Structures are given as C-alpha cells and as structure tokens.
Structure 1
C-alpha cells in the first residue's frame, strides 16, 4: 500500500469512529452519564498498566536492598 492510501485509510477509520461515537452519545446520553463513575474507576488500573511499563520490574531496587 502506498503511504497516501495508508494515511487516507487511517483518516477514514478515525472519521468513522468519531461519527459512531457522536451518534452513540447523542442517542444514549443518559446511559453514558450513568456509566461515567465506572469509567473513572476503570481508568485507575488502565493508567497503572500503561504508565508503569517503563519501570522494567524494579530490578534495580532489589539490588540496592542488600547493600548498606
């Protein structure tokens, strides 16, 4: 696939997902507001999973624990 076609396909998918999200929120706004507290609690574990990937298991902390 050429770069222009690939960029167009990504734009088209993004536009379709945005339109779908708008339609769902427009027609089901009350349901979306009802799920908002659960979304807040769901962000906590997701942030933990995606934001702590750079720590590499804390191996350097275990090496320092035995040293005075």
Structure 2
C-alpha cells in the first residue's frame, strides 16, 4: 500500500475571489445579454460594419504582442532596424 498525500481543496477561488460557477454564470448572462443587445440593434451594426472593421485594425495592433523579426526583442548581434 503506497502512502500518497492528496490535498483536496474544494473551495478553490481565483484571484478575484469568485468561484468558478459564479464566473461561468456571469459569462453566460453577459453572452445572452450581448446576443439580445445585438439582435435589437442589428440595423445600426449592419450599417456601420465597415467602420467597425477599420476600428478593429488599430485595436489589434495595440493589443497584439510585439513578436517577429527585429524590434523590442532583437538579439544583440542582430540589429533591430535593417538599413539597405
């Protein structure tokens, strides 16, 4: 018989102090509310979808990580800006 210790903590809470069930319930309420809000205001959204798409471009630029070649995380032996 092996003696292993398993610590079970049924009341595991995140950093916000809310249990997982409460967070899932709040997420579901937000999704249902968003669905009905979009359904009621679909005419406004459909009329301005081009502007919403253009607004998404700078938001994606701001929220996306700065990975890739060069820039902030360039190795010291490789210059960040390439000049031809």
Taking the aligned partners of 2:51 and 2:12, their CA distance within structure 1 comes to 40
Residue ranges of structure 1 left out of the alignment (5+ in a row): none
Moved over 4 A (4+): none
Pairwise CA RMSD of aligned residues?
2.5
Aligned to 2:27: 14
Structure 2 gaps of 5+ residues are 1-10, 75-79
Q: Following TM superposition, by how much is the alpha carbon of 1:28 offset from its aligned partner in structure 2, in angstroms? A: 1.4
**Deviation at residue 35 of structure 1 after TM alignment:** 2.6
| Aligned-partner SS, 1:11 | helix
For the pair shown, the structure with the greater C-alpha radius of gyration is 2
Task: Select which of 18, 25, 28 maps to 2:38.
Answer: 25
Q: Which residue of 2 aligns with 1:49?
A: 62
**How far 1:14 moved relative to its partner?**
0.8
Return the TM-score normalized by structure 1: 0.67
Q: Which has the higher contact order (CA 8 A, sep 6+)?
A: 1
- Which structure has more helix as a fraction of its residues? 1
